[in-house]
Amino acid sequence: MTTPDNAADKPAEAKPGATSVAAQDWATASADPQYRAAVVDLLGALAYGELAAFERLAEDAKLAPTLIDKAELAAMASAEFHHFEQLRDRLAAIGAEPTQAMEPFVAALDGFHKQTAPSDWLEGLVKAYVGDSIASDFYREVAARLDADTRGLVLAVLDDTGHASFAVEKVRAAIDADPRVGGRLALWARRLMGEALSQSQRVVADRDALSTMLVGGVADGFDLAEVGRMFSRITEAHTKRMAALGLAA
Amino acid sequence: MTTPDNAADKPAEAKPGATSVAAQDWATASADPQYRAAVVDLLGALAYGELAAFERLAEDAKLAPTLIDKAELAAMASAEFHHFEQLRDRLAAIGAEPTQAMEPFVAALDGFHKQTAPSDWLEGLVKAYVGDSIASDFYREVAARLDADTRGLVLAVLDDTGHASFAVEKVRAAIDADPRVGGRLALWARRLMGEALSQSQRVVADRDALSTMLVGGVADGFDLAEVGRMFSRITEAHTKRMAALGLAA
């Protein structure tokens, strides 16, 4: 709607790379091929993440003890699918081939889900909740590093997460009924987080453009330790959530 | 858009029970407890049918050879889930407990899906297409026997089916590439239809109110053979579709 009228005011040549990507729109920011590659990677990773989440939540819905519970998990799966659609459509809109963009992240995400197949309904609920929360934390972290258009999409998708809150109530009730359940689920949540971190490291090591963007290396002045700090912020938030759930993380 | 202006012309009192349910709204039609029970049954059966379809399509999406194909089946699954939501919400709105309304149909629908788990991607596609088409035929048939409000919902859900057309192209291409595939898939489609009919008969035998409505016994003057004719119209449409697909049904 609005034209970037501040673009002309700024001394673009004054400090190389000093104009924050966050202040740019996609058309401007994507002129940098490394930034463009990073965003295609990011959208590809998020898109396949949503598609894989759809598939696993639909699978885990089978563990539901009642039809209502099944419908709750199916609703989450369906929401993830709609996120996938938005991300895929955005990839196509910026001229990237969605399948090609997703391909590099298939192994890590499939690996995560393979290593963390829930063995019962409660494990499924904890996974849905943990997965949804970590995804939402990550979206929020990464949004700040994006151009205005990409950020708008990421925040729109983020805005629609949080379907997993129903899980909290169910897990709490199960722990109240049998405190030993809490110990088992705490171990499970720790395994989920461990597996998520180890698969993330695999991705960070493999994908240069994406990692550079995550550490703020494209246009801002963050140092390399920033990616470590991001992971530790996400881990801390996870620990707090697990405590709130009655699980020692 | 058009009002049923012929309703006033008809001699409503001339034939007892001749005021067609189709000309009534829910408030009027549901005063008949048998009609009400039939609609609760119908919505319960359709709701669980959609939820089960969601679950199976999501499962069958795993057989997809590419991410794009997977996304197509996931899109269908997600559409079925939204149909489920509408039907469940309608049950709640008319004061019926959705789980209780669905329960009587769980065995038949789970039985159908258990007996017809596709063993490969092409069988999954044929099942998605056949299932979507039969559901759409059935919705259309039954709509004519419903009060205006329930009919509106059923037609709205129907309007949103037809996601399976992408399957047609893929199946045709596979048969062109290897005609022997056609013979195998024709057998498969026949088995799907046979299993659907046998599970439907089980439901018809068990659920009096629903069956009576299906044969038009509540307010219209259809004879019992009408349900047989409905099944044969659906079977004929299936046969034609299979022929169009290159499969002898």
Which ipTM did the prediction report? 0.78
Minimal Cα distance from A62: which residue of B? Answer: B55
What is the pLDDT, as a whole number, of residue B216?
A: 66
The SS3 assignment for B60 reads helix
Q: What CATH fold (topology level) applies to the domain A26-244?
A: Ferritin (1.20.1260)
Domain spans of chain A, in order of start: 26-244
The CATH class for the domain spanning B28-244 reads mainly alpha
Cα angle: B206, vertex B194, B117; to 5 degrees = 95
Partners of B88 on chain A (C-beta within 8 Å) are 71
Closest in A48, A74, A98 to B54, CB measured: A74
- Specify the pTM: 0.83
Does the beta carbon of B84 lie under 8 angstroms from any beta carbon of chain A?
yes
Taking only the tens place, the pLDDT of each residue in B76-101 is: 999 999 999 999 999 999 999 999 99
* Element at A213 (helix H, strand E): helix A208-214
Helix (H) / strand (E) element for B17: namely none
- Distances in Å between the Cα of B80 and the Cα atoms of A65, A66, B148, B227 are 21, 19, 23, 26
- pLDDT tens profile B29-56: 999 998 999 999 999 999 999 999 999 9
Cα(A56)–Cα(A50) distance, integer angstroms: 10
**pLDDT at residue A231 above 50?**
yes
CA distances from B24 to A174, A187, B31, B156 (A): 48, 58, 11, 18
Q: What does the pLDDT read at residue A249?
A: 55
Q: Residue B97: what residue type? A: E
Question: Which residue reads 């399509």 in tokens?
Answer: B57
Taking the CA of residue A103 and the nearest CA in chain B, the distance in Å comes to: 9
What average pLDDT does this structure show over A211-237? 72
Highest mean pLDDT, choosing among A215-224, B133-142, B171-180? B171-180
Which chain B positions have a beta carbon within 8 Å of A75's beta carbon?
A: 81, 85
What CA–CA distance (Å, rounded) separates B57 from B70?
Answer: 10
CA dist., res. A168 & res. A174, Å (int): 10
Output the average pLDDT for chain A. 85
